[in-house]
Amino acid sequence: MEGFSVTHLRFTVEPVTLVQFGTQPGSQLRGALYNVLRRHTCTLRPDRDPTPAHTAICPVCRLLAPRNPDAARGHTPPPPLALQPPPGDRRTYRPGQTFSFGISLFGDQSELLPYVIHGVWGMGREGVGQGRGRFEVRDIEAVHPLTRQRESLLLPDGRIRQPELRVSASDVDAAAHTLPSDGVTLHFLTPTRLIANGRPIALPPFEVLIGRLLERIDLLLDEYAPAAPRTPHAELAEQAQAIRLAWHRTRWVSIRSGSRRQGRTTPIGGFVGHIHYEGNLRPFLPWLIWGQSVQVGKNTAKGDGWYEIVPPSD
């Protein structure tokens, strides 16, 4: 993973009017971000899908609706961002009750940062969620989930500075050496949708989880760090068979995401909760740590597939 990095942005906002989300706030946040940027920044007509030629010159579509005819798996590569909705089960925020959400950018996407920030400010003005609740941005930070460092990007005069904090390969390697190698507990904070044999899995064996994660990482590397080395799929797939699912406390969340433009809904539900795996996990720890930053499964741009490794002391 040398040459690949992830920048984690955290937006703290304060409602001006009642902000009310549905079951999966990430889907509504992503939809609002896309609509704001599409209306105010993209030159494509709202009823048209972006083409690869258009995406090549449009930073908004490159950010939220990428197209690449040379992509490894079809013309629709993974977008260069993932979203983390407000943590916890709270869905309603009244004026004065601040909340925060995250957006992660993959690779060197510094030229897209102004569009993300412009989009979040636009979301606040135009509203998000049920009833289009409006908010004001109070702070924008770059955060490092492994070292817990934070840096404010919002200067007193209103200007934004480029973040310096990024998750890098050396950070991941250092974090991997602090974890036990015989067991790991993963806390899936948002619905995680993994597909095997054409169907979603409610409780994934380790080989399915790590397989989907490695596939996602390789697709991200193809698009955003093509010079980086690829994951050792065959070797890790064989070793993954020996890892067992020891216990879990999970539940399935059924959610559908609607598209007004397409006039249809699609399922984005998945499992949430804790899963503990046991076995020789040493070869997999760096990839599981990367998974905290890139998320796993489908609909990561809508906030799905966000998990954390539970510290051993917990």
State residue 266's pLDDT score. 84
State residue 85's pLDDT score. 96
**Which regions of the chain are under pLDDT 70?**
70-75, 258-264, 314
State residue 45's pLDDT score. 76
Question: Which one, of 293, 273, 290, 251, lies nearest residue 189 by Cα?
Answer: 273
**How many alpha carbons fall within 13 Å on the CB side of residue 221?**
17
Question: Which one, of 24, 116, 48, 89, lies nearest residue 300 by Cα?
Answer: 24
State residue 272's pLDDT score. 96
Instruction: At 57, give phi and psi (nearest 5°).
Output: -115, 0
CB count, 10 Å around CB of 12? 16
State residue 262's pLDDT score. 56
State residue 104's pLDDT score. 96
The full set of domains in the chain, from first to last, is 6-152 (3.30.70), 169-309 (3.30.70.1900)
Q: What is the pTM of this model?
A: 0.92
Strand, helix or coil at 160? strand
State residue 72's pLDDT score. 62
Let me know: does 33 contact 144? Beta carbons within 8 Å.
Answer: no
Helices (H), 41-94: 52-57, 59-64
State residue 2's pLDDT score. 80
State residue 87's pLDDT score. 87
Beta carbons within 8 Å of 251's beta carbon, 6+ residues apart: 271, 272, 273
Q: How far apart are CA 87 and CA 263, in angstroms?
A: 29
State residue 263's pLDDT score. 64
